């Protein structure tokens, strides 16, 4: 589990390391055990007022693709530095207008054991055409839980950070040196 202080330092490192002209704004830096995802805002394309939705969608898609190709070398350089420093893969994404696009990112395998009733849930999702495999069905379930429990998960993460702070103050923690009295 990453503490909020570690997340802040990570975000600060990226804010300091990224070229000023790469993004309009660094909107999000997220981290887990395997990956750091960096998302920034890029300018939306300028279109005529009242342009059709299909034109807007195609223009945003084109802008994202142009950004991805143009900045590839810069992003690779930053990612190499970060991967060496933080020992995690770095993935990239952008926000352009109302769209969010993630570039190549880690899809980490997760092993789990499920009892028959739980497997039946996954198999029902497959039979219903929601997923093609148990793995895909499980990922769908996780996204659904995430979408509907964001507040609860945020509170749980904050509680875990408090537990980590208390553990760090335990008997194995390095004692702070008392100030010396030089009288």
Which pLDDT score, from 0 to 100, does residue 183 have?
46
Q: Say which residue the tokens 């070229």 belong to.
A: 19
- The rounded Cα 159 to chain-centroid distance in angstroms is 20
Which pLDDT score, from 0 to 100, does residue 137 have?
94
Which pLDDT score, from 0 to 100, does residue 40 have?
97
Which pLDDT score, from 0 to 100, does residue 175 have?
59
In order of 18, 71, 83, 108, the CA distances from 21 in angstroms are 8, 10, 22, 31
- Residues with pLDDT less than 70, the chain: 1, 173-183
């Amino acid at each position: 589990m990453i503490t909020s202080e570690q997340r802040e330092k990570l975000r600060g490192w990226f804010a300091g390391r990224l070229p000023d002209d790469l993004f309009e704004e660094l909107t999000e830096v997220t981290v887990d055990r395997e990956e750091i995802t960096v998302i920034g805002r890029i300018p939306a394309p300028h279109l005529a007022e009242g342009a059709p939705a299909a034109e807007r969608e195609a223009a945003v898609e084109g802008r994202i693709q142009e950004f991805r190709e143009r900045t590839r070398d810069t992003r690779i350089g930053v990612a190499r530095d970060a991967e060496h420093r933080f020992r995690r893969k770095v993935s990239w994404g952008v926000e352009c207008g109302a769209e969010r696009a993630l570039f190549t990112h880690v899809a980490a395998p997760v092993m789990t054991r499920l009892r028959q009733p739980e497997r039946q849930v996954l198999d029902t999702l497959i039979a219903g055409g929601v997923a093609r495999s148990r793995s895909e069905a499980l990922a769908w379930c996780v996204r659904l839980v995430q979408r509907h429990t964001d507040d609860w998960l945020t509170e749980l993460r904050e509680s875990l950070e408090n537990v980590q702070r208390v553990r760090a103050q335990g008997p194995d923690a390095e004692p702070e040196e008392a100030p010396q009295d030089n009288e």
